[in-house]
Amino acid sequence: MNLVFNDKDDAHQYLLNAAEVPSVTTVIGEVVGHIIRASEWHMERGRIHHACYALIAQGIDFKYSDYSEPWIEGCRKFFREVNPEILGVEQLVASEKYQYAGTLDLMVMLNKKLTVLDFKNTASGTDAMQCAGYSIAHEEMKGGKIKQVATVQINGDGGYKMTELVKGSELLRARREFLACRAVYEIKNREGLLK
pLDDT tens digit string along 77-131? Answer: 999 999 999 999 999 999 999 999 999 999 999 999 999 999 998 888 999 999 9
Task: Look up the domain containing 145 and give its range.
Answer: 36-175
Q: Is the pLDDT of residue 34 over 80?
A: no
118 closest CA partner among 149, 145, 95: 149
Q: Give me the pLDDT at residue 122, please.
A: 83
Q: Is residue 76 part of a domain?
A: yes
Average pLDDT over residues 32-50: 81
Q: Is residue 149 part of a domain?
A: yes
The rounded percent of the chain whose pLDDT value lies above 90 is 85
Q: Is the pLDDT of residue 37 over 70?
A: no
185 closest CA partner among 25, 13, 37: 25
Q: Is residue 153 part of a domain?
A: yes
Q: Is the pLDDT of residue 153 over 80?
A: yes
Q: Is residue 115 part of a domain?
A: yes
Count the domains in the chain: 1
Q: Is residue 191 part of a domain?
A: no
Task: Output the average pLDDT for the chain.
Answer: 94
28: Cα separation from own chain's centroid: 12
**CATH number of the domain where residue 143 is located:** 3.40.1350.10
Predicted model pTM = 0.94
- How crowded is residue 165: how many other Cβ atoms within 10 Å of its Cβ? 18
CA distance linking residue 163 with residue 185, whole number of Å: 27
Average pLDDT over residues 25-47: 84
Q: Give me the pLDDT at residue 28, please.
A: 96
- How crowded is residue 163: how many other Cβ atoms within 10 Å of its Cβ? 17
Q: Is residue 17 part of a domain?
A: no
Average pLDDT over residues 148-153: 97
Q: Is the pLDDT of residue 24 over 90?
A: yes
